[in-house]
Structure 1
Amino acid sequence: MEELAREAGITVRTVRFYRERGLIQPPRREGRIAWYDTHHLARLRTIAALLERGHTLNGIAELATAFESGRDVGEVLGLGEATGETPVRLSPEELADYFEGEVTAENLATSLALGYLATDGDEIVHISRRLLDASAALVREGVPLASILETAREVRAHTDAMAELFSAFLAAHTTAEDSARLRPLAKSIVEAEFSMALDRRLRTGYATGSAGT
């Protein structure tokens, strides 16, 4: 347990607490020795990532129960019909196939910290089919996964700010029921503005590059 706690960057007391709450599975025992493995470490890192994203321990416990009972992970994470995002279950080998040569310990740790990945025993759950496919396509084009994840971290900060802006706007002018109904309109505005902004940036960037050559 001390070795597991050290690898996870937490205290032994915290590991015991997580065990008591059912957030991690009991160790394999051989006599008086309790053996923890990489699954326990991955689960602890997933818990840390979820806590960083604002999830409560009760919510994480519910997620762990969903994993073990076969419930829909998207339902627990608040995905699916509400957001259009579909979680994807992958074996470690399938994940490696998506990102050939890019599945390093550093990239996995970053993905867990960002909340893109969670673990369920021998399986890995990616939070979004669209994000998985888009990032895999960029890797196939030669973009390093580490760069994609670093950009994703910055994008999240901006999208969180936009979400806060629209949430405040809708709260000021509509009821809670209307806000949910009008959510697709806010999404359409952001997508249209981003598309036009990207076009402007690309035109300016290529024009500048051409002038310099």
Structure 2
Amino acid sequence: MPAQKRTLPDELSVEQLAEHCGVTVRLVRAHQSRRLLHPPRRVGRRSIYDHSHIDRLALIQRLQKAGFSLAAIRALLQTGHNAPELALAWHAEGLAMRFPTLTDDSDPDLQVEPEGVAELHAQPGAWEALQSYGLVTRGPDGNWHGTHPVLVAVGRRAREMGMPSTEITRLQLQVARAAFDLSREILDSFNRIFAQRPSGNGRIENYAGMSAVATALVTATFEVQLSRVVRGVVGIPSDAP
């Protein structure tokens, strides 16, 4: 892509942009109307595009190829920073975390704890329950994939400590149910506040801000309570530093 960019002029028409990116002019304008693509610079009656539009269209194509919806892509782009790139990396890492069926011996480097997988396969409905809470997905090959690298890493560490996969699954589902209910409650609270504002329409537009505040709220509160429980188990006074 960089070598190709150098052969292009700094200023592009919508037709040149579409041709270079392998899309239609109609799609370029549709992405603009959806606020996925930033508007061009106007010079008189001409719309001038540049290489930043090429980069944005390429990023949108990569996200779509990875399975992200247009609504999800817009949310990622509005979040800013490197959120889209992080999402792509997260998606790729999640795909690599494959829990193979018992009869699948392909790609051994991608297998995650075959012993633990066997225990999960032995639990009727275990995978479907995990899927219902978004913890795993099932691919067209019939194999299950972890949807979050941290969850898979935690499961691996718990097994190394001697915790059975059945107990890990039970805890995952219990926490997932509680987290889902709590997330809905937080979202409802945010919506009520936003709806009370003079210009509010009951919808949260600042996705990045809402997500950051909600995550910090849950994380900090949970860490405090978990620390209190651990201190109690090991006999450390709750007011000790």
1:131, distance to aligned residue in structure 2 (A): 1.0
Is the partner of 1:111 in helix, strand or coil? helix
Quick one: which of 157, 162, 165 aligns to 1:145? 165
Contact 1:118–1:125 (Cα < 8 Å) also in 2: yes
Offset of 1:96 from its aligned partner?
Answer: 8.2
Alignment coverage as a number of residue pairs: 137
Structure 2 equivalent of residue 181 of structure 1: 209
Cα distance in structure 2, aligned partners of 1:72 and 1:194: 32
Unmatched runs of 5 consecutive residues or more in structure 2: 1-63, 77-82, 195-202, 237-241
Q: Could you report, residue by residue, the CA deviation over 1:22-42 in whole angstroms, capped at 9, with x for unpaired residues? A: xxxxxxxxxxxxxxxxxxxxx
Counterpart contact for 2:186–2:214, Cα < 8 Å: yes
What's the TM-score once normalised by structure 2's chain length? 0.48
CA distance in 1, matches of 2:99, 2:114: 14
2:126 paired residue number: 110
Q: CA deviation at 1:132?
A: 1.2
TM-score (norm 1): 0.54
Work out which structure has the larger RCO, using CA pairs closer than 8 Å and 6 or more positions apart in sequence.
Answer: 1
Q: Structure 1, unaligned stretches of length 5 or more? A: 1-69, 209-213
In structure 2, distance between residues paired with 1:165 and 1:183:
13
- Superposition RMSD on alpha carbons, in Å? 3.2
CA contact (8 A) 1:111 1:149 kept: no
Residue in 2 aligned with 1:99?
A: 113
Segments ≥4 residues shifted beyond 3 Å: 78-86, 93-97
Question: Which has the larger Rg?
Answer: 2
Is this contact kept in 2: 1:91–1:123, CA < 8 A? yes
CA contact (8 A) 1:88 1:125 kept: yes
Give the C-alpha shift of residue 117 in structure 1: 3.4
Cα deviation digits, residues 39-92 of structure 1 (max 9, x gap):
xxxxxxxxxxxxxxxxxxxxxxxxxxxxxxx9314x25x698489653323372
Q: Contact 1:118/1:126 (CA < 8 Å) preserved in 2?
A: no
Query: Identity across aligned pairs (percent)?
Result: 13
